[in-house]
Structure 1
């Protein structure tokens, strides 16, 4: 993924072995990374136990928020693909106990279908 793609919001798949090394202090015993996607500095990672949203903050990105969502807490999700004039794809995830969804935007040609398939495999 190039810098310009990141600025445009295009998500790209991240190498699983790199993610496991970066998250070795975060992952629970027996938890394994299955896939991950990165948009600029932020990423979302699918493990065998949860969806992990990683939000790097500040100018240097040293401050990091890890948002863990157990798959059993996801009540439903939606994926809207990009059209001819609407160039954004959108993923929305609703979590039990929360009325507002977590939303992520993707630009055209992002792997939104892969993300939807992975979520479906874990949630359904």
Structure 2
């Protein structure tokens, strides 16, 4: 992922198997990462049960906040795929405790349809 892409708010897909060890103390027994996306230092990680937002803070990024959103708290979501002139895809997630949606941008080529499917499966409990 290029620096400019990260600065523009675009997320790039990363290998979920690489993160499994890093998230070992965050995930409960039997939970595994299904998809993960990274912005320069921050990430958002999908498991079978929840979405984990990772916010690395400070100059060194050693201070980390893990925000866990269970799928049952997601009231609705929207996916906007990339178009001819708008090369970015967008994901909006409404959380039951918030009026405004959580919005994430994905660069062209990101598998936004797979993310939509993961959220739908999580909400449905499948």
Q: What TM bracket, shorter-length normalisation?
A: 0.7 to 0.9
Which residue of structure 2 lines up, in the alignment, with residue 44 of structure 1?
A: 44
Give, in whole Å, the separation in 2 of the partners of 1:109 and 1:16: 17
Gap runs ≥5 in structure 1: none
Q: CA RMSD in A?
A: 1.9
Q: For structure 2, list consecutive stretches of 5 or more residues without a partner in the other structure.
A: none
Most deviating of 32-41 and 7-16? 7-16
The normalised TM-score by structure 2 is 0.84
User: Normalized against structure 1, the TM-score is what?
Assistant: 0.85
Contact 1:11 1:111 in 2 (8 A): no
- Structure 1 outlier segments of 4+, above 3 Å: 1-10
Which SS does the other structure have where 1:51 is aligned?
A: strand
Report what 2:94 is aligned to. Answer: 94
Q: Which residues in structure 2 correspond to 1:4-83 (within 5 Å)? A: 4-83=4-83
| Aligned residues of 2:87 and 2:107 also touching (Cα < 8 A) | yes
